[in-house]
Amino acid sequence: AWRVIHQGLSLNNNNFDLQYNLAFLHELLNDGERALKIYKDLIKRSHDEETISEIEIKIEELEKILASE
């Protein structure tokens, strides 16, 4: 998955879905700081209320996790 996402981003670094998947991968790999940075960037770029809500939840969860470390 990592390789495929990076290949896609090398073709289109602004692809929202690929960026979202990259943030999720960072989350899975316990790199919450990087995931949080990407999610915060994505929330600024989204115009879909449902997506914004999902990202807000992820940001809150990651901030809680990072604060407890």
Looking at residue 69, its pLDDT comes to 84
Query: Per residue in 17-62, pLDDT tens?
Result: 999 999 999 999 999 999 999 999 999 999 999 999 999 999 999 9
Whole-number pLDDT of residue 18: 96
User: Which tokens go with 2?
Assistant: 């990592």
What pLDDT is attached to residue 44? 95
Q: Which two tokens stand for residue 9?
A: 């981003």
